[in-house]
Amino acid sequence: MPELPEVETIARGLAQNLTGDVIESVWLGNKPEPLKSPPGEMVSTLEQARIAGVRRVGKHIVVDLSRQSPVASRRQTAVRSLRRDGGAQAQWIVHLGMTGRLLIAKPEHEIPKHTHAILRLRSGRELRFVDPRRFGRLAVVRHGFQAPGSEPLDVGFELFAGLFCGRKTPIKSALLNQRLLSGIGNIYADESLFRAGVRPRRRAASLTRAELQRLYGAVQEVLNEAIAAGGSSVSDYVDSNGDAGFFQFQHRVYGREGEPCLVCRTPIKRIVIAGRSAHYCPKCQE
């Protein structure tokens, strides 16, 4: 499932390529699972809307929509720059699920199987949502979309540490709890815990302040490095241009069960915590 770095990479690519373009028409497939908003409402909201910006919120891609004229838009540039949503009147929310993709394509390019939405743009391009397993979700909202948890790249240390205070759940499970931190998944939880020297089974409440400081720094470091590398392509993830990420080549524990630790050469172990896999080094992590 795409995590924060992958979603951030896609959102940045879409923002760079699509901001200012206009959605002229919308095609939706006949599978009901991806649609969290009624098809008619989605079409009426998207058609003839200008893409004011694209950004990531947690694991969601948020496409800010505006119906302002270009002249009015230019006049209000200074005001809009102070607002994160760019003065959006509505938003298209995309959650990629496990196998979802948002791809920019030319109309003449073959439409992939399992395409569930096509936005035809004034520039002559198309934005296609493709999702073989149909766990992805599409919705439109009229008010500012917010993720349930704190933003890992924006949260301060004191708030970060407070999220785990008194929690008896394993720290790995706490990191995956989207109501605490929005965007972290299996890969980056494992990698962050390794760099912090903390075992995934440790109770969250048992971490000392020093350990929490190491974990806080590791989360920031891992996420930023992964974004710089375009995310991790361990399955079928690609960005909006169809390009794979490269951070999988920097994984130190995730997916390396039985292989030697890159620090101490101890074989990496894999365990299951609350139904989710966890990879760690028995020697480097306490």
Summarize pLDDT for 116-175 with one digit per residue, the tens: 999 999 999 999 999 999 999 999 998 789 989 999 999 999 999 999 999 999 999 999
The pLDDT value recorded for residue 3 is 92
Domains and CATH numbers, the chain: 4-141 (3.20.190.10), 157-280 (1.10.8.50)
> Is 2's pLDDT higher than 90?
no
**Segment 20-30 mean pLDDT:** 97
Grade residue 69 by pLDDT with cuts at 50, 70 and 90. low
| Residues facing residue 64 across a β-bridge | 53, 91
Higher pLDDT, 214 or 147: 214
Residue of 3, 8, 126, 191 marked active site = 3
Query: Which of 121, 197, 172, 187 lies closest to 274, judged by CA?
Result: 172
Cα separation, 245 vs 227, whole angstroms: 9
Q: Is the pLDDT of residue 78 over 50?
A: no
Please pick, among 55, 59, 80, 172, the residue that the annotation labels catalytic: 59
Structure token pair of residue 35: 């649609």
Task: Decide if 276 is catalytic.
Answer: yes
Per the annotation, the verdict on 283 as an active-site residue is: no
- Residue 233 has a pLDDT of 74
Alpha carbon dihedral 75, 43, 18, 84, in 10-degree steps, equals 50
Selecting among 12, 125, 202, 276, the annotated active-site residue is: 276
**Nearest-angstrom CA–CA distance, 63 and 15:** 9
